Amino acid sequence: MVETSRHALAAAALGAVLLAACASTPKPDAELAISNAAVNSALSAGAADAAPDELRTARDKLDRARVQRDSGHNDIALALAREATVDARLAEQKALAARTRKSAEDLSQANRALADEVARKSNN
């Protein structure tokens, strides 16, 4: 009888610990919204062309985070959402860097054309 009570008490304690563990992390809805905004910002910056792998990774992690949240695995969902945000920001920065490089190349080409024109007029 005492053994049965101990088992029941241990089972109840284990159940309480598991329930507390599940309830300890709230749904990461705010983090998912931040991650979604980061993906959209990366898209607007041109990451689909300049950083497609990073953007794909961010979208994949965001999708997986939503699945985990919907399954009640909030800890995993939170971690994936945060990783998706980092990946999306990396994609955005790569896109912005590519745009900056392109602008610098265009400016350099324009400067060379202007220098050629000045040299041609000086020789005339």
Task: Give the pLDDT confidence of 7-34 residue by residue, as tens digits.
Answer: 666 556 555 555 555 557 899 999 999 9
pLDDT-derived band at 119, boundaries 50, 70, 90 = confident
- Put simply, whether the predicted model's pTM sits higher than 0.85 gets the answer no
**Alpha-carbon separation of residue 40 from 55, 65, 102, 113 (angstroms):** 10, 16, 22, 38
Report the alpha-carbon distance of residue 113 to residue 3 in Å, rounded.
92
Q: Mind listing the pLDDT tens digit for each residue in 63-104?
A: 999 999 999 999 999 999 999 999 999 999 999 999 999 888
CATH of 27-123, one of 1.25.40, 3.40.1000, 1.10.10, 1.20.1270: 1.20.1270
Residue 72 per-residue DSSP state: T
**Alpha-carbon separation of residue 113 from 6, 29, 106, 109 (angstroms):** 88, 53, 11, 6
